[in-house]
Amino acid sequence: MRIGELSRRTGVSVPTIKFYVREGLLPPGELTSPNQASYGETHVRRLRLIRALLDVGGLSVAGIRGVIEAIDDPRRPLHTVLGEAADQVVPRYEHGGGSGIAEARKRVAELIEARGWRTYEGSPAAESLATAIAALDEVGHGRFTEVLDVYADAAEQVARVDLEYVAHRVAREELVESVVVGTVIGDAVFAALRRLAHVDASDRVFGETP
Amino acid sequence: MRIGELSRRTGVSVPTIKFYVREGLLPPGELTSPNQASYGETHVRRLRLIRALLDVGGLSVAGIRGVIEAIDDPRRPLHTVLGEAADQVVPRYEHGGGSGIAEARKRVAELIEARGWRTYEGSPAAESLATAIAALDEVGHGRFTEVLDVYADAAEQVARVDLEYVAHRVAREELVESVVVGTVIGDAVFAALRRLAHVDASDRVFGETP
């Protein structure tokens, strides 16, 4: 297809498509004449991925380049590529540098061990969890972590359907795109549902309505 | 207790305590002499709440004042106060103004109805959920909402233990403080756990390790 059709199919403007080609995010089309290039389904998929990383994941152009290099490197195992993409979009929480972080990291390691979760050294998710636990301790709500196992059960259920959703995809681009969209928007979906369930539970416990 | 001890017990500096009193966030201490005031446990609780709203919830001084006025108004039912506090700290997602938002709101209303969740008109959580669903549609992942019920089940489990945790508190300050801390840090805890569970599930599905 010509660049105009690629633009219509993806909703990305022609100048923006040309910018992505110049930046090395999108492979150039195949030249059919000195002034005309032809684009295929791989370009459609790649553009969808770029938009998801940009609009949903909030990645910079440099961050997007990193994800795309990982996708295009055939020696990189898929599991690693998916993990790297997700790590890019996981929100980082800064810990206040309090003494609680070492203790919190130990608790996270114990939880991962107890649940038999496979993970890897320096996982940003483990560090985020440790930071949140240390923050709870700092504000005097360390006891909140007693419910961590209920949270972990719920997270496992959600992760299972997330993976089923992702596993339908065939191309590496599509898999990575699903992971990014699912990670970012899935967090928002769950936070909103949890809040709706809070309102309901609070009404039942504290509300005056019968 | 004197202001110095209040500062030591809460970790809030004396000038900051005085600032909160001037701003009307903290009631003044009881004057024991023209230059000396005495503070009690209500001040300790109130300071803890202010710090949680500020440091964890990210509220402005004006936002904190709103929450505190609600707490101090005995005509305001507790359920309403808790809801208002939580609404202040729920992240808002802007929808792009696409046509999908009306359809997404309908889906959310159906979900709430189907689950028998009690809610209220204009709940920010319902609007956040509709925005997230519309965003999924816009990036071509509308099918992701097929797993919404699994997410909702998980959210109910988590909300149940959240409420049990909160219900231990007696003073209104403490209840509101727990709700704010639980809402904000609870989101971070769940997002990190979901991500850890993803890594595990992805390793099992796509990993090369046996």
- C-beta of residue B4 within 8 angstroms of C-beta of residue B15: no
Q: What is the pLDDT of residue A89?
A: 75
* Residue-by-residue pLDDT tens, chain B, 210 positions: 999 999 999 889 999 999 999 999 999 999 999 888 999 998 998 998 888 888 777 788 888 888 888 888 888 888 888 888 887 776 665 655 567 889 999 999 999 999 999 887 778 889 889 988 888 887 778 888 888 999 999 999 999 998 888 887 778 888 888 888 888 888 888 988 998 998 888 888 877 654
Residue A69 has pLDDT above 50, yes or no: yes
Which position has the higher pLDDT, B32 or A51?
Answer: B32
Contacts of B121 (CB under 8 A, 6+ apart): none
pLDDT of A124 > 60? The answer is: yes
CB–CB contact B135 A209 (8 Å): no
Residue B103, token pair as written in the block: 């359809």
Q: Which helix (H) or strand (E) holds B51?
A: helix B41-51
Record: contact B154-A159, CB cut-off 8 A? no
Q: Do A158 and B151 touch (CB under 8 A)?
A: yes
In chain A, which residue's Cα lies nearest the Cα of B54? A139
Mean pLDDT, range A95-119, rounded to an integer? 85
Using an 8 Å Cβ cutoff, are B125 and B105 in contact?
no
- Alpha-carbon distance of A3 to A47, in angstroms, equals 12
Contact B182 A141 (CB under 8 A): yes
Residues of chain A found within 8 Å of residue B190, distances taken between Cβ atoms = 151, 154-155, 190-191, 194
Give how far B33 is from chain A: nearest CA, Å.
33
Q: Contact at 8 Å (CB) between A64 and A91?
A: no
Share of chain A above pLDDT 90, in %: 32
pLDDT, position B15: 96
* Among candidate residues A16, A10, A82, the one with its CA nearest the CA of residue A46: A10
- Lookup: tokens for B205: 């599905």
Closest A-chain CA to B10 = A139
Q: Do A150 and B141 touch (CB under 8 A)?
A: no
For helices B172-206 and A148-167, angle between their N-to-C axes, nearest 10 degrees = 40
Tokens 């022609």, located at residue: A14
Q: What is the pLDDT of residue B210?
A: 42
ipTM given for this complex: 0.80
Q: Do the chains contact at B128 and A153, CB–CB below 8 Å?
A: no
The answer, yes or no, to whether residue A70 has pLDDT greater than 90, is: no
Residue of chain B whose alpha carbon sits nearest to that of A154: B154
- Compute the distance between CA of residue B47 and CA of residue A54 in angstroms, rounded to an integer: 41
Distance between the two ends of chain A, CA-based, in angstroms? 63
φ and ψ of B23, to 5 deg: -80, 0
Looking at residue A93, its pLDDT comes to 59
Is the pLDDT at A20 greater than 90? The verdict is yes
pLDDT at A96 over 60: no
Chain A residues within an 8 Å CB radius of B150: 157-158, 160-161
| Max mean pLDDT range (A14-23, A44-53, A100-109, A188-197) | A14-23
In sequence order, what are the beta bridge partners of A30? A38
A187 or B28, which is more confident? B28
